Structure 1
Amino acid sequence: MAFLRKKRETPRVDLTSMVDVVFLLLIFFMISTTFVESPGIDVKLPESSSQASKTEVREVKVYLSRNGDISLGQEKVTQEQLESRLRAYGPAARGMTFVLLADRDARHGQVVRLMDMAKVHGFGKLAIATEYVKSP
């Protein structure tokens, strides 16, 4: 009587699940490294490593001090005076830049109010000024 011998199969390692795990880890690390951590609203004229170009000539500079004083250019104004001055620009405001130079210790609500004022009065661009600091 002849016994049938089973052919021995060489053991194989199925790599499908390992490849899936590696791709998931790769995707996880790619996504998690692109998140930018923002420290919240700390407006002490933030630093920037790039310098903005000065091609925009027509701009309105509004300063906000830490105690809430508002200045339009070099002149100190109240919020109502600022609003009437911004209204006076009319349709020309669409081609101008509203530059907000707020102290880093200024109240967030006041900064948002000034930004909203610029939007309401039709300014085409809004820029928040930062200090340029060279990277080491």
Structure 2
Amino acid sequence: MAFKRKERDEVRVELTSMVDVVFLLLIFFMISTTFVDSTGIDINLPQAGSQKIDKQPEEVNVYLEKSGLIHLEDRLVSMEDLRSHLAGYGDRAAETTFILLADKQAQHGKVVQLMDAAQSAGFAKLAIATEPEIKKR
């Protein structure tokens, strides 16, 4: 006698809803993540309530830590190295913006030395970076 076998339903795991959730999480984290354009140098900028300046096409970023260390873009330099680098700009220095990002606890004398180095190299545009002032309610 031949018995008829019952056909078993194939078990399927529906992944559609899980893929939707993962996709939504990916979108959430992409939107909520802020992308900051900064180097790894720890500079605590002073606050100012003045207007924000648009980024210039050619600029030199010089960072001054509160300890007195000077960074040109992302590398540590001495004052002499900085002066020689700035002198290399030549005629382009007049159109290039010199941006000084000095820690608010940096010595005033060092800030003046950096500004003087920029002026001696022929930089006509000088900007001192600040954080926007937080309005108290």
TM-score by length of 2: 0.63
Q: How does 1:27-42 map to 2 (within 5 A)?
A: none
- Residue aligned with 1:68, SS: coil
Per the alignment, residue 94 of structure 1 pairs with 94
Please report how far the alpha carbon of residue 54 of structure 1 lies from its aligned counterpart in structure 2 after TM superposition: 1.5
Map of 2:63 onto structure 1: 63
Q: Which residue matches 1:120?
A: 120
Report the equivalent of 2:4: none
- Secondary structure in structure 2 of the residue aligned to 1:82: helix
SS of alignment partner, residue 112 of structure 1:
helix
AA aligned opposite 2:96: M
After superposing the two structures, state which structure 1 stretch, 103-112 or 55-64, moved more: 55-64
| Aligned residue number for residue 129 of structure 1 | 129
- The SS at the match of 1:115 is helix
- Structure 1 moving runs of 4+ over 4 Å: none
Q: Structure 2: how far apart are the matches of 1:94 and 1:53? A: 18
Indicate if the aligned counterparts of 2:99 and 2:127 stay in contact, CA closer than 8 A.
yes
**Structure 1 letter corresponding to 2:58:** R
| Higher radius of gyration, 1 or 2 | 1
**Cα distance in structure 2, aligned partners of 1:50 and 1:135:** 12
Using structure 1 for the length normalisation, give the TM-score: 0.64
Q: Per-residue deviation at 1:45?
A: 2.3
Opposite residue 57 of structure 1, the aligned amino acid is P
Give the unaligned 5+ runs of structure 1.
1-43
RMSD of equivalent CA atoms: 1.4
Secondary structure of 2:88 counterpart: helix
**Cα offset for 1:55?**
4.3
| Percentage of pairs with the same residue | 47
Residue-pair matches, total: 93
Equivalent residue number for residue 53 of structure 2 = 53
Does the aligned pair in 1 maintain the 2:61–2:101 contact within 8 Å?
A: yes
Provide the rounded CA distance (Å) in 1 between the counterparts of 2:102 and 2:82. Answer: 15
Q: 1:55 to 1:102 in 2, by over 3 A?
A: closer
Aligned in 2, Cα 1:124/1:67: closer, same or farther, shift over 3 Å? same
